[in-house]
Amino acid sequence: MTTYHRTAALLAAATLALAGCSDDDDPDAAGGTVPESAPYNDADVDFATEMIPHHAQALIMVDMAATRDVSPEFGSLLEQIRAAQAPEIEQMSDWLVEWGEPVPDNARDHGGMGDGSGEDMPGMMDPDDVDDLGSMMGSGFEDRWLTMMIEHHEGAIEMSEEELADGEFDEATDLAGSIVESQTAEIEQMEQMLAG
């Protein structure tokens, strides 16, 4: 089983877990359940809970591209994204555990949401787009991947800006600021790659 298929196989479980986390009828779901005395708030919980599958989808796209014969610059970008986002998933998962909040299943294995249930998150690709990208062959793959990842990064920046505006947990707002800075720089890099 390839890395892509192995990570893709985790999608269903992660989707079910996150769907459970966001159920408005679930008293244990994120949103409105944080004690006033806590050093974090609902915005911090939502940021971590939603950014985990968002990052996970980016890592699935990285795994997909890593199996191909890509240019050196593209390969370096893949490793740059992996090196940043995999530890951030771990960090956010640890916060949720510490806060007693649900962690999306398989987050530590880079699971993501592949059935479209995360499409309301900014920048999340729908399953057809991900499948189409995975089936692409030839030189067009890199350009399509870069175009999709730019949109994905723009979504992460939007989510991070919401955290900066509304969050209270210092580590979470620090991470949000770092995501805005690093992914803005990566968008510029990817746009230059597309233009080249």
Class of the 3-195 domain? Answer: mainly alpha
Q: What is the pTM of this model?
A: 0.79
Q: Calculate ∠ Cα 65-68-74, nearest 5°.
A: 60
Q: What is the mean pLDDT of residues 15-43?
A: 60
Q: Where are the domains of the chain?
A: 3-195
Task: For 52-64, give one letter per residue: b (16+ CB within 10 A) or e.
Answer: bbbbbbbbbbbbb
pLDDT interval class at 4 (50, 70, 90): very low
The pLDDT tens digits for 146-193 are 999 999 999 999 999 999 999 999 999 999 999 999 999 999 999 999
Of residues 111, 144, 118, the one with CA closest to residue 9: 111
What pLDDT does 196 receive? 81
Cβ partners under 8 Å of residue 151, min gap 6 = 123, 125
